[in-house]
Amino acid sequence: MYTPLHQKQNHQNTMHLHRLLHLILLFLLLAPPRIALASSHCTTAASKTYHNCLSLPTQQASLAWTLHARTATLDLAFTGSLLAPSGWVGFGVNPGNNAPEMVGARALIAFADPSTGATVALPFVLDDSTKLQKAPLRSRPLDIPLSASETSVLADRATVSIRATLRLAHNRTKINLVWNRGAYVQGYSPTIHPMDAPALNSRATIDILTTASTSVPHTPTALLRTLHACLNSASWGLMLPIGAALARHLKQLSPSPAPTWFYAHAGTQLAGFTLGTFGFGTGLWLGGQSVGVVHEAHRKLGVAVFCVGGLQMMALMCRPTATHRLRKYWKSYHHLVGYACVVMGVVNVFQGFEVMGLWRSYWRLGYCVVLASLVGVFVALEANSWVLFCRKAREEEMRREGAVGGKKGFGDDEI
């Protein structure tokens, strides 16, 4: 049976317990977040212990390291997952003092040796030509003290661990780290990595003393690249060819005397040029964000297509009347410039696929299927136009012959 004295003691015990819990919670909140990390070691997937480890923000990659302060040397272990058994995975260090960038990084990339099948990690220098894809990526010695000591593939055959040693510069405690992976290796040359957001944001600056990492702020570059590709593929690559075909074939197929074909042609081309203008603007913004990286052919073709398209829009506003003496010259100019704009637009769409690394992708395959279907329709309409033209020419010839023959017979009867 509880008495008031027992209730008072229980109340005091509860108050003491609450105070103790508050003190523990306050200690946990105020304690440095790296105390637990400093007091315990971490073991990598390759069963080796390091003093510090960090999960990287993308691609399920991680980095572990041990700092030897006396020699200013880092023992590193990078762990990443393969996209495919024939793929590659790697990491690199950019020795520059700026933000972590792929261009300028010195990398160690692991893949299966095509001769022996064993996993090897080779050194690569990622310069401007790598980003521009001017030539296959070739292994060459690094000019910084970064070397691989061991490479291993784990039991799941999908995870690769690269152990390396890096000598730090004097009073340098931060490293600019980049990492990535790809699906194919041609010989000893890794092919381009995917161009999705995780692949483009696989970089960070890591403080090896505090284990703090600063990821690159998320930018809308990946989204704008996709928007740029979609707008330009739909406008210059599809709508302008469709508009040109409407002007050529709808005029013959439409029985109505009203200029239906003209409004369809002008509306399609105007909508295509409007979308293409937005696509051209996003391309200029993306070009400004890629300092030192210029895709010459894609940029020059894009500027040329936009200028020619603008001339076509101006020509529409300066269109002479049907009875004007300059109408035939205007038509010749309009046809020549229009077909040139269509051809350059389609070619530049394929250039864009190559720039984005989508040459062997389903996006390019889908565009090719749609474009091939349109070409098939255009060929069928062109054949139908020639059939109609030949039929009308034959009817006109028979009409003339009949008229001439009728006149001669009438004259002979009079004679």
Lookup: tokens for 282: 């996003």
Which residues lie below 8 Å from residue 389, measured CB to CB, with a gap of 6+?
none
Q: With beta carbons less than 8 A apart as the criterion, state whether 156 and 319 touch.
A: no
Q: With beta carbons less than 8 A apart as the criterion, state whether 279 and 228 touch.
A: yes
Selection from 109, 118, 131, 127 nearest residue 185 by Cα: 109
Check the annotation: does 335 bind a ligand: no
Lookup: tokens for 292: 């030192």
Three-state SS sequence of the chain: CCCHHHHHHHHHHHHHHHHHHHHHHHHHHHCCCCHHHHHCCEECCCCCEECEEEECCCCCCEEEEEEECCCCEEEEEEEEECCCCCCEEEEEEECCCCCCCCCCEEEEEEEECCCCCCEEEEEEEECHHHHHCCCCCCCCCCCCCEEEEEEEECCCCCEEEEEEEEECCCCCCEEEEEEEEECCEECCEECCCCCCHHHHCCEEEEECCCCCEEECCCCCHHHHHHHHHHHHHHHHHHHHHHHHHHHHHHHHHCCCCCCHHHHHHHHHHHHHHHHHHHHHHHHHHHHHHCCCCCCHHHHHHHHHHHHHHHHHHHHHHCCCCCCCCCHHHHHHHHHHHHHHHHHHHHHHHHHHHHHCCCCCCHHHHHHHHHHHHHHHHHHHHHHHHHHHHHHHHHHHHHHHHHHHHHHHHHHHHHC
88-94 sheet: strands from edge to edge = 119-126, 105-112, 88-94, 174-182, 203-207, 213-215
Check the annotation: does 16 bind a ligand: no
Check the annotation: does 249 bind a ligand: no
Check the annotation: does 334 bind a ligand: yes
Binding residues: 228, 265, 298, 334
Binding residues for heme b: 228, 265, 298, 334
